[in-house]
Amino acid sequence: MKNFVNVAIVGLNFVLLSVAQPVSAAQSAAPQATPSPSRTSASPSPGQGAGLRMGQLPPDSAAAKAPRTLSPYFVPITTRTKLPDPEGFLQRWLLLEPINKPNRTNTVFTDSYVKKTLNTEYFPGQFTAVPHNGDKVTVEGQELAWHALDATNFDAKLFNFAYGLNKQTYGVIFWAVTVIDSPRELKDVRMAVGSNSASMWWLNGDNVVNLFDDRRMVMDDVVSKRLILKKGKNIIRGAVINGPGLSDFCVRFLDENGNPVKDLTQTLQ
């Protein structure tokens, strides 16, 4: 019995007919070799790009094993005092490692939820003490440390702070404290805050700014009523809560004309 193969090449407008040679019964009964898989279509072996989409590169194992750092978003404090940045944003902060507060979505951050959650006392001195670098507190069995740092941007990038310390980055509460020294009494100033996501802020023990709902960080997103900065030391305290997504905040003071207040000094003491 003869096998015939017809190959039609339409694009070239002709038909090439090829007649195969007769195949013996022995040959037809012989097992056929399985063609080796194409290099371009072979499935990647585990750890060599399996599950990657087109255009994606396999994970960089060396980068994954590299030690995490706070650079370039934060640097250690090397001076006793610090001025705000050129736009008046406060960059020196005491930041507490994140408190575990699972939230699968940020839509729960209503005013009532945020007020209840952030007014809860998680550790002694939460609303009164000015911590020092390296101080530790315990929250529901978690030992958390305070870190005195200078942010390198106008905003404090809390996600990168947590990631750099190999701490959880989602479903968290961050606490931040700083001390500003005013050369004189300043009346009619306003605290201007942006945060991702919700947050609450206190000046000298009084709650002066609240940011509710799921939101991105925008400078001067919410501005307080008119305030008085005392001559000398003033304590700023804030708490930022977030579920999934990035976390950060920015804070500065605006004068009665809406201009940044720049002649303040941050000390953390």
What does the pLDDT look like over 125-183, one tens digit per residue? 999 999 999 999 999 999 999 999 999 999 999 999 999 999 999 999 999 999 999 99
- Both tokens of 138, joined, read 């315990």
Asked whether residue 49 is assigned to any structural domain, the reply reads no
CATH code for position 178: 2.60.120
Asked whether residue 79 is assigned to any structural domain, the reply reads yes
**Mean confidence (pLDDT) of the chain:** 84
Q: Would you call 129 exposed, middle or buried from its count of C-beta atoms within 10 A (0-12, 13-18, 19+)?
A: middle
Residues spanned by the domain of 230: 68-266
Give the pLDDT confidence score for residue 35 in this predicted structure: 40
Give the pLDDT confidence score for residue 67 in this predicted structure: 85
Burial 99-119 (b: 16+ CB within 10 A, else e): bebebeebeebeeebbeebbe
pLDDT tops 50 at residue 99: yes
Residue of 52, 53, 1 whose CA lies nearest to 22: 1
Q: What DSSP character marks residue 10?
A: G
pLDDT in tens, 35-75: 433 333 333 444 444 455 444 456 566 656 678 999 999 99
pLDDT in tens, 204-222: 999 999 999 999 999 999 9
Asked whether residue 28 is assigned to any structural domain, the reply reads no
| Paired residues of 174 in beta bridges | 240
- Distance separating alpha carbons of residues 34 and 187, to the nearest angstrom: 86
- Residue entry with tokens 């919700």: 198
Give the pLDDT confidence score for residue 194 in this predicted structure: 98
- Distance separating alpha carbons of residues 73 and 152, to the nearest angstrom: 5
- Distance separating alpha carbons of residues 157 and 104, to the nearest angstrom: 21
pLDDT tops 50 at residue 13: no
Give the pLDDT confidence score for residue 66 in this predicted structure: 74
Give the pLDDT confidence score for residue 104 in this predicted structure: 87
Asked whether residue 58 is assigned to any structural domain, the reply reads no
pTM attached to this predicted model: 0.76
Q: What is the mean pLDDT of residues 31-37?
A: 41
Question: Could you give the percent of the chain with pLDDT greater than 70?
Answer: 76
Asked whether residue 165 is assigned to any structural domain, the reply reads yes
Residue of 239, 118, 248 whose CA lies nearest to 196: 248
Give the pLDDT confidence score for residue 15 in this predicted structure: 34
Asked whether residue 171 is assigned to any structural domain, the reply reads yes
pLDDT in tens, 242-257: 999 999 999 999 999 9
Give the pLDDT confidence score for residue 51 in this predicted structure: 53
Asked whether residue 98 is assigned to any structural domain, the reply reads yes
Identity at 223, one-letter amino acid code: V
Asked whether residue 60 is assigned to any structural domain, the reply reads no
pLDDT in tens, 83-96: 999 999 999 999 99
- Both tokens of 120, joined, read 């809860």
Give the pLDDT confidence score for residue 54 in this predicted structure: 45
- Distance separating alpha carbons of residues 169 and 166, to the nearest angstrom: 9
Residue of 152, 125, 156 whose CA lies nearest to 219: 156
Q: Total structural domains in the chain?
A: 1
